[in-house]
Amino acid sequence: MRKGFTLVEIMIVVAIIALLAAIAIPNLLGARRTANEAAARANIKVLCTESETFSAGAGNGAYYADLAAFQAASTAATTYCGSTLGGYVYACSMAPGAYTFTATPVSTNTGAIVVTGNTGGQITTAAFGG
C-alpha cells in the first residue's frame, strides 16, 4: 500500500485555502484603509495644534508668516508637509493669519476621506472621489 495524498485531496485543500483567502484579504485591506484614515486625522491634528500653540504663545495671536517659518520651527511640519506617508499625500499652506493642511489619499485603496485642517484648528473630512 502506497502512502501519500491523491490529487483530489490536494485540490480540495488548495480550494479551501483559496476560499479562506478570498474572505480574509478584503477585511485586511479595509482595516489598513481605516488605520490610514485615523493616522491622517491624527497627523493633521498635530499640525493644527502646533500652529495654534505658536499663535497662543510666541506668536502673540499671530500664526507663522509662511510655510518656511513653520517648517523651521516644527518637526511635524518637516515630516508631513509635502510628504506621502501611510497612503496619504500631505499639503500645507501658510499665510499671515491663516493656514490650511490637507491629507489626500493616494488612491481609494489607501483611504476614502480627505482630511483638512484650517485656521482655528477646525478639522473636517470629505469623501475622496479617487
Residue 49 to residue 19: CA distance in whole angstroms: 46
**For residue 57, what is its C-alpha cell?**
504663545
pLDDT tens by residue, the chain, 130 residues: 678 888 999 999 999 999 999 888 888 888 999 999 999 999 999 999 999 999 999 989 899 989 999 999 999 999 999 999 999 999 999 988 899 999 999 999 999 999 999 999 999 999 998 6
Q: Is the pTM of this model over 0.85?
A: no
Residue 64 to residue 61: CA distance in whole angstroms: 10
